Structure 1
Amino acid sequence: MSFVNFDGSVKKVNHKPKGVTELVLEISTKDLGNSIQNLAEMIDNDVRVEIESDVVRYNVQINAHTERPIVNYQVDQSGVVHIAEPEPEQLEAELGLPAEKPQIEEKPMEIKREVVDQFIQEGMAPEQEGFPENMADIVKQRIEGESYRKLASELEMSSGAIVDLINDYRAAVAPLAEKWWDWKEDQVNEAVPMQKDEEAAEDEKGSEDSVPDEYDLPKDDQKDKEDGAA
């Protein structure tokens, strides 16, 4: 039995006569490698296909007036993402006037699926209301290669339902994953200058140690040097 696993792009979806839909995929020949022979052997044969997007799409609620998110997040020193405290009200609070209810809009966003999956795999995703308590573990099984069919059987639901559940969970934690990923990149960027400074300090120290000090010369050599100077 042939098996091919690859990353590619969906280029076309064509509806043809007799209730047939033609799907056109584009894959890099270099990435496909020797698997192209396995793929060729599947021509005109029945195959089982699972296609999963490499991006997670989600919506962020924003204040239509300020165009800023309604909910903001912050990351602590351990990398745990929390909902940030709301910003102090401005003039309304100072005058004791009732705050005007903001008009809320939803802004479509997207993030790489591997970022969200890494966030989940590292155990950073908190429980989400409306999902099973072990939802993160369920998604981990999928990330590690478990099939939707087996997960659906274990949870006693249809394959379509488990696909939707996992996709919805990824979308729910995506804003937190984005904030966490930005924090991780900041940690790396801050570490690089510190490492360079430490290396520069070591190089400078090594240079100083390699220069002979006239006061470290033996007494006889120091006397000869002083006599020569005189």
Structure 2
Amino acid sequence: MKADPKDQQRLLDLQAIDTTLQQLAHRRKVLPELAELDVLGRAIGVLEDERVRAEVEVDDLDRDITKLEREVDSVRQRRAKDQQRLDDGRLPARELTALEHEITSLTRRQTELEDAELELMEKRETAQGRLDGVDEKISVAREKRIAAETRRDEALTEITREIEWKQQARRPLAADLPGELVQLYEKIREQSGGLGAALVQHGRCGGCRLELFGADRNRVKTAPPDEVVRCEECRRIMIRTAESGL
């Protein structure tokens, strides 16, 4: 293929823009905020599961405490009635003795229930502390997520703006170059990881960085200026200038 040497050199300008666009696209995919948000998302998920467990524990303890409170109240009322009957003293001595035994038993039962209730309330306080601690961790993690989302959005906006600028600069440059040359360049770029044209410097291909030797070096050196020369190794378009060292 033939192309004006100046057009060939302008491929380097096009390549520079395309390389920048490729770098910007890569930056967009690997923003540190994306990784941070992924970590925060998983951490919040774990904390929310922990919160559910802590909340269930608190609810279970509340239910058990309520049940004990009802039992304590029932025993207290029954004991109060028995005590009233005992204080009246209108029952036969045998029944009064049985009533005294029952009051003693009820008093012991009330004490046992109140002790159990106190123990549950202590457990409930500990469980509530765990729940409050998890809520605080979730709140902190969510604040961090909001901050990371803000930084991510700002970075994405800036990258998008830079991409648009580069694309605007690329369009007239690509349109001004020979169509056949641009097509070849694009095809090579697609096949070679984004690099379609490279400057030959100090006798080395700028694409694969290999030094040219022997017949291959002579081939590149003696090719007409308007000949589109490609590297035998990486197949990229080799741009020759005064820096090529040939």
Q: Does 1 or 2 have the higher relative contact order (CA < 8 Å, sep 6+)?
A: 2
With the length of structure 1 as denominator, give the TM-score of the two structures.
0.30
